[in-house]
Chain A
């Protein structure tokens, strides 16, 4: 055992007076700093991840469609699809037909957005809806519609019920034509104009429904049925693309633009579009919190520095003896810095252990606090039913290394000052 580590250990030993008490207390400070850093970051990241996953969970990852809203020609769609499928990171790409449509059941009306998917790819796509399924089936078949429970409740429909559906644009056209036609005073001409007013309703079956809260308000049907509803013949509304890593969607979009795979006059809608601002704000908040919580670590380092100052003062005579015996300055610095390193390592490890415990029992702790503070039901409603948490190993490693480094840096100035002592002066005092 080297002299340095021997002395560092010896000075830390429990029976060696009050120094061990203040050492333990500084360990506590470091542990609290690490605990807060890890727990706060894990919870904030958890919220961010949940929000992302909720969006990824029901939003189509990438939609390409003509910007003017006109139906897309089958030829353009086919060539684009062929190019898309060769791209890396693309899990699935298909032409779809969709838009706003009206549903009607027993006199109740509702409107929502419909996606009509080609039958061969539908099963593969609808997999991501399976965990949101509440009742009935989500297996798409011609003339069948899957929707959110919110929409189903609005029209009072249950799986198996027959519905009447028509495109929202048909209603718009009908209303506009009717307004024009009703101004015509000539009966014959007016009646002729009236004859053009059609909603083109078709019959459909409610197949099943999903939880709108987590799966959004979208309705799904087959490509054929959607084409019939929107009256676009053999054309498409656009292309729907699923990626293997949805978090890379921006990079994928950029690549598609660079390689001119997106046809001119088309635009791209990303799953992040509906939550971009919120996501950016969340990571900003996490960044600011990191700084604020970092101050706990800084104050904990102050405690470590205080301990080192006390220890070096206490050991002034011993340092003098060591210096007189020929110990180099670096060795003396090392003694006290390695002592601080022990404080840093033990504090960090216990902080990590504590945070694992807190994160594991986070929901029980929340329940306890709510009960303790007489938490009203409304207060618990505002939060999610469970607190999310995501542990990021890279961040943990960063926190641990940062916390230990901070302790070492805090111990360095007093250790260095102590090592400069003149042995003659130290021994004489």
Chain B
């Protein structure tokens, strides 16, 4: 092997700093290697924590989106005229049946299903209260029904005749169970009934009052609970057959919206934009995608993730401080050598490169160690959680808040490369400052000392 110091350094402008950087790292070279290893550990911890925490957050975000997609229609389109009701007779809008026909033939959509959304009134703790329901057609080509039937806790998802499907939470609140028949009132008709009863004086003559009540009616039905949905994963709505919903919401054969399922729900908004532009969707129809519907909560999950990244960045900053300390020590120790190199004609950037390469080496090893450590922690996360739960009686991830029984994790390549590049950049930056000062040394002064 040729000793590079024999050959003028200027002929190896790039290799020489590399050679020296590794030479200065050699384990036999005193205490410096110890502090180098310690600063490496700092970087490792920083990267490891970032990888672990960001993966868990990403996993949670993905599971959360999956959960929403599991019950929420991907897109609903509704007529903008006359409130929210698609009105078949309004001149500008085609009949909803025609539009539905057109949309379901369109290859961009997996299915197009008419729905009617609203509230029905049931008796809950002796008092009449509204619960949200969605009217769904019982036809076979119903992607939403297929999706929902995966969340059945009991019974089957079979919407026909006088059937109703409730979530377990709704069922518990009204004290009903699978197979029970419950009385469901149309909420508008209950209001109407109250208003009409109120108009008839209560102390009026009995016969007159009774005759007036003959003209009053209340729209209600006995519906049989044929299925109970798991509320944790199936949202808060109940489901009734479309024809009952139409009757209850006084839609007169119309629907409130057409529900579309698409193959890539993440791109739903873009897809709808093109569909709107090319005229498939008439201009007086509007649309709302599942992520617009839940924009608030999705945004807040994303905000939390960004905030965590920002907080954990401080671990990296402190790790970089550690690297900076090491570089300062190394440059001071090597003052004489720097003087000799300068005297031999080495340029300042080459000297800076020696120490920055060294810091880069620390950073890369730290990053690799951190990624490995992070993955190791992620692989035992649920075992660890069980251990904490049994040892400290502390559930770190309560299911009723996070809706998941296990800690999720998903390592995103974009996240991983962001973490790694941040770590390397911070370490290099931390090394540049002291090595810049070291490179400015006057060889005469350095050699005289």
Is there an interface contact between B401 and A281, defined as CB atoms closer than 8 Å? Answer: yes
Question: Contacts A99-B127, A195-B206: A174 and B46 contacting too (C-beta < 8 A)?
Answer: no
A420 at the interface (CB under 8 A from B): no
Closest CB in chain B relative to A166 CB, distance in Å = 9
Whether B300 sits at the interface, judged by CB under 8 Å, is yes
The A/B interface has a contact count, at CB < 8 Å, of: 174
Query: Separation in Å of the A165 CB from the closest CB of chain B?
Result: 12
A191 engages B211 (CB within 8 Å): yes
Inter-subunit contact B210/A292 (CB<8 Å) = no
- The answer to the question of A100 belonging to the interface, with a C-beta cut-off of 8 Å to chain B, is yes
Docked-complex contact A164 and B198, CB < 8 angstroms = yes
Q: CB distance B210 to A22 under 8 Å?
A: no
Q: Which residue of B lies closest to A376 (CB)?
A: B299
Look across to chain B and name the residue whose beta carbon is closest to the beta carbon of A113: B127
A102 touches B (CB below 8 Å): yes
CB pair B45 A298 closer than 8 Å: yes
Distance A182 CA – B213 CA, assembled complex (angstroms): 9
Q: Are B398 and A299 in contact (CB under 8 A)?
A: no
Chain A nearest CB, measured from B335 CB (Å): 10
Contact of A302 among B42, B217, B303, B400 (CB under 8 A): B42
Please give the distance in Å from A42's CB to the nearest CB on chain B.
Answer: 14
* CA A86 to CA B38, docked complex, whole Å: 63
Q: Which one, A28, A194, A379, contacts B303 given CB within 8 A? A: A379
Which of chain B's residues 172-210 have a Cβ closer than 8 Å to chain A? 183, 185, 190-191, 193-195, 197-198, 202, 206-207, 209-210
Contact between B318 and A107 (Cβ–Cβ < 8 Å)?
no
- B3: CB under 8 A from chain A? no
**Contact A109 B191, beta carbon cutoff 8 Å:** yes
A195, A288, A307: the one within 8 Å of B396 (CB): A288
With A169-B127, A281-B401, A309-B34 as known contacts, state yes or no: A295 contacts B326, CB within 8 Å: no
Q: Given A280-B398, A302-B42, A309-B35, A378–B318 Cβ distance below 8 Å?
A: no
B379 at the interface (CB under 8 A from A): no
Q: Are B328 and A292 in contact (CB under 8 A)?
A: no
Which residues on the A side are within 8 Å of B35 (C-beta)?
306, 309-310
B260 adjacent to chain A (CB < 8 Å)? no
Nearest CB on B from A378, distance (A): 7
Interface positions of B from 26 to 66, Cβ below 8 Å from A: 30-31, 34-35, 38-39, 41-42, 45-46, 49, 53
A302 touches B41 (CB 8 A): yes
**B398 adjacent to A175 (CB under 8 Å):** no
Contact in complex: B311, A40 (CB < 8 Å)? yes
Q: Is B314 an interface residue (CB 8 A)?
A: yes
Q: Does A1 contact B (CB under 8 A)?
A: no
B220 an interface residue at 8 Å Cβ cutoff?
yes
- Any A CB within 8 A of the CB of B164: no
A104 nearest in chain B by CB position: B198
Question: What interface size band does chain B fall in?
Answer: 35 or more
Q: Point out the residues of chain B lying under 8 angstroms from A307, CB to CB.
A: 325
A54-82: which residues lie under 8 A (CB-CB) from chain B? 69
**Who on chain A is nearest to B325 by CB?**
A22
- Say yes or no: A102-B332 contact (C-beta < 8 A), given A191-B207, A194-B209: no
Interface string of B384-409 (1 = CB under 8 A from A): 00000000001111101110000000
8 Å CB contact of B210 from A33, A174, A195, A378: A195
Whether B218 sits at the interface, judged by CB under 8 Å, is yes
Closest to A297 in B: B318
Contact with B along A159-184 (1 / 0, CB 8 A): 00000100011011011101100100
Question: In the complex the two chains form, is B198's CB within 8 Å of A278's CB?
Answer: no
Closest CB in chain B relative to A19 CB, distance in Å: 9
How large, as a class, is the contact surface on chain A? 35 or more
Q: What CA separation (Å) do A18 and B433 show in the bound complex?
A: 14
For A298, list chain B residues within 8 Å (CB). 45
| A299:B315 contact, CB within 8 angstroms | yes
Residues from chain B with a CB closer than 8 A to the CB of A178 are 193, 213, 216, 218
B162 close to A (CB within 8 Å): no
Say yes or no: B318 contacts A29, CB within 8 Å: yes
State A166–B128 Cα separation when bound (angstroms).
13
With A25-B321, A379-B299 as contacts: A171 and B401 at CB distance below 8 Å: no
Q: Closest A-chain residue to B319, C-beta based?
A: A299
Q: B407 → chain A, closest Cβ, in Å? A: 11
Least CB distance, A121 to chain B, in whole angstroms? 26
Do B325 and A306 have beta carbons less than 8 Å apart? yes
- Given contact pairs A174-B197, A200-B202, A299-B322, a sample of 17 additional A-B residue pairs in the complex whose CB atoms are under 8 Å apart: A32-B317, A109-B194, A111-B127, A164-B198, A172-B126, A179-B220, A182-B218, A191-B206, A191-B211, A197-B197, A277-B401, A292-B53, A299-B315, A299-B318, A303-B322, A313-B30, A382-B296
30 contacts between A and B (CB under 8 A): A18-B332, A26-B325, A32-B317, A32-B321, A69-B126, A107-B195, A171-B127, A175-B128, A175-B220, A191-B206, A191-B214, A192-B210, A277-B401, A281-B402, A284-B394, A292-B49, A292-B53, A295-B45, A295-B46, A299-B322, A300-B321, A302-B42, A303-B325, A305-B38, A306-B322, A309-B35, A310-B329, A313-B30, A382-B296, A382-B299
Instruction: Report which B residues bind A (CB closer than 8 A).
Output: 30-31, 34-35, 38-39, 41-42, 45-46, 49, 53, 123, 125-128, 183, 185, 190-191, 193-195, 197-198, 202, 206-207, 209-211, 213-214, 216-218, 220, 296, 299-300, 303, 311-312, 314-315, 317-319, 321-322, 324-326, 328-329, 332, 394-398, 400-402
Q: Using a CB–CB distance below 8 Å, which chain A residues touch chain B? A: 17-18, 21-22, 25-26, 28-29, 32-33, 36, 40, 69, 99-100, 102, 104, 107, 109, 111, 164, 168-169, 171-172, 174-176, 178-179, 182, 190-192, 194-195, 197-201, 277-278, 280-281, 284, 287-288, 292-293, 295-296, 298-300, 302-303, 305-307, 309-310, 313, 378-379, 382
Closest 9 CB pairs of A and B: A191-B210, A168-B127, A194-B210, A100-B127, A281-B401, A303-B322, A194-B213, A306-B35, A299-B42
